[in-house]
Amino acid sequence: MIAYDVTCTNGHTFEGWFADNASFEDQKSRKLIDCPYCGTTRVERIPSTFAIGNRQKARAESADMMPHIDTITQLRRYIEKNFEDVGEKFADEAVKIHYGETDKRNIRGTTTQEEERRLKEEGVAFVKIPIIRYDS
């Protein structure tokens, strides 16, 4: 059995247990999965961050997650190669680039929630991708 996070069209999220993804799709198509909050059967699976973060488990549980993981890994490799790592200064550098105070370039780094809020307020475009750690 696998626990999937499920969301309904009204924005509620809840957890459901299914034998596998096919079982989820089958039950969904037969409208057997309903939201415990509002009762709608219009539900979708939320990709599990836990499954994405743990390669072994993801492979064992759901083979269809793998292309997604490969895409994130490739994206991460691309970013590591082509983006300058500014570490914790990401927010400061992003704002400087936004206002033309420093050279326009691709950067990567880490932000706190507070810094992300600031970037949004300043209208700075940024993308968040998950950092994957593979446990050996």
* Segment lying near Zn ion (by CB under 5 A), choices 2-10, 61-69, 72-80, 100-108: 2-10
Minimum distance from residue 17 beta carbon to Zn ion (Å): 18
* Segment lying near Zn ion (by CB under 5 A), choices 1-9, 53-61, 95-103, 108-116: 1-9
Residues 11-30 that bind Zn ion (CB under 5 A): 12
Of the candidates 12, 8, 17, the residue with the CA atom closest to the CA atom of residue 42 = 8
Distances (CA, A) of 92 to 17, 46, 79, 84, 119: 43, 33, 19, 14, 9
* Segment lying near Zn ion (by CB under 5 A), choices 33-41, 46-54, 67-75, 103-111: 33-41
Binding residue for Zn ion, selected from 33, 35, 65, 69, defined by CB under 5 A:
35
Is residue 46 within the footprint of Zn ion (CB under 5 A)?
Answer: no
Is 20 in contact with 5 (CB distance < 8 Å)?
no
Distance of CA 47 to the CA centre of its chain: 8
